[in-house]
Amino acid sequence: MSNRDHAHLLLQLAQADVRAVRGMADKTLFSDAIVGFHAQQAVEKALKAILSMHAIIYPKTHDLDELGAMVRQHVPTALTIVDEILALTEYAVQYRYDFFPEVEPLDRQHIADVVSAFVDQISAALPQ
């Protein structure tokens, strides 16, 4: 699979995670841990998509800080990577497989909007 095709596949998967986050608005059905996991996955896949498009080998990691730093270092485009989405890393492993501490409840609409805007930004940066 070419880097371009791999990038577009990752972006499609990221968009599916964004749709999942938007579809999980009902707090009685879906925990913040599940919503946060899909939000984290959308960001992770979008970051990996832009790295793949630029033929940058990325590690097998869920660490959004690490992936974000790689994008900032290697990708010449000016992407807006806000700390708020990088903070979703905790939902990849810690909150998924470990004790879910008492934290502020997720503002699901806000997270969906921020993550969706980020994925859209990556989509616009990828050549068709």
Output the pLDDT for position 90.
Answer: 85
Place of tokens 């690490």: 66
CA 98 to chain centre: 20
**Burial status of residue 34 (CB atoms within 10 A of its CB: 0-12, 13-18, 19 or more):** middle
Question: CB–CB of 39/112 below 8 Å?
Answer: yes
pLDDT by residue (tens digit) across 22-35?
999 899 999 888 99
pLDDT by residue (tens digit) across 29-58?
998 889 999 999 999 999 999 999 999 999
pLDDT at 63 over 70: yes
pLDDT by residue (tens digit) across 108-121?
999 999 999 999 99
User: pTM here?
Assistant: 0.91
Pairwise CA distance, residues 76 & 106, whole Å? 32
Cβ contacts of 99 within 8 Å, gap of 6 or more: none
- The domains found in the chain, sorted by start residue, are 3-125 (1.20.120.330)
